[in-house]
Amino acid sequence: MFKIPDPQATGAAVFFAGVKSACTSVFFLVLFGTYIGMGALAHDFGFSSWWLALSSVLVWAAPAQVIIISSLGTGASLIEAAVAVSLSAIRLMPMVVTLLPLLRDEKTRTRDLLLPVHFTSVSMWVESLRMLPLLPRGQRIAFCNGLSTGYMGTAVVSGFAGFYLAAGLPDLYAGTLLFITPMSFLISTVRNARLMVDRLALVLGLVLGPVLAANHVGLDIMWTGIVGGTVAYGVHRLREAMR
């Protein structure tokens, strides 16, 4: 159960409250399993455990890390890998846009937001939307940084574990572990979808995504988001106008 920090707590206390929340969250188990699979993947493609740890800190997105490991491991150039990772990171922009209004106020400095923006990931975003509204606005950045540090530390440690367990880890098991993150995101999204527009966008995404992928449409994830989100928003505006 999430415990709200004392309103008079110091920044350090709020930060460690965020770390504690990360370590007691369901996403702790999700990241632990995911990055064991990531460690096994890095091992199989010939990357070192320290390379994986550094990429976890700098890239901080499991799908993007899968892309960079698989692309560089199969001989792609750095530029090709960078473009592919950048395109995959576009999906994080809406998360940042929805998160920033919860973090900033008229006194917030831009430099204070750089770390939370870098830390933005599926796990951090879902938990932040749930917990940040319960906190005083002055504590939110410190709590968010602590939450993300806890998640990132989990990823780094479990990545090392997966790397050294890779010799005995079946390929099917490693692949299954990597699938935990998207499934947990889907379940969390279903849980948090309270408005009609959210539910409609979710259903449209689940329908359009497989259809576009089956027809080999390029950038299928991007088009799924654009088309599904636009239609859901249009239906929402029409519904509000009719009221």
Q: What is the pLDDT of residues 149-164, one digit of tens each?
A: 999 999 999 989 888 8
Sign of CA pseudo-dihedral 195, 201, 205, 208? positive
Domains of the chain, by residue range, sit at 11-192, 194-243
Q: Which amino acid, 129?
A: L
The per-residue pLDDT for 226 is 80
Burial (CB count <10 Å: 0-12, 13-18, 19+), residue 242: exposed
pLDDT at 145 over 90: yes
Residue 42 has φ and ψ, to the nearest 5°, of: -60, -40
Lowest mean pLDDT: which of 132-141, 164-173, 230-239? 164-173
**Amino acid 215: pLDDT:** 84
Q: What is residue 193's predicted lDDT score, i.e. its pLDDT?
A: 66
> Can you list the pairs that 96-99 forms with residues at least 24 positions away whose Cβ atoms lie under 8 Å?
96/120, 98/125, 98/129, 99/125, 99/128, 99/129
pLDDT of residue 237: 87
For residue 141, pLDDT beyond 70:
yes
Question: How many other C-beta atoms are found inside a 10 Å radius of the C-beta of residue 189?
Answer: 16
Question: What pLDDT score does 52 carry?
Answer: 92
Cα end-to-end distance, the chain, whole Å:
39
Q: What is the mean pLDDT of residues 216-237?
A: 79
Would you state the structure tokens that stand for residue 118, as one six-digit string? 């870098």
Residue 172 scores a pLDDT above 90: no
Note whether 225 and 93 are within 8 A (CB): no
4-8, 23-27, 123-127, 210-214: segment of lowest average pLDDT: 4-8
Instruction: Please determine, for residue 121, whether its predicted confidence score (pLDDT) is greater than 70.
Output: yes
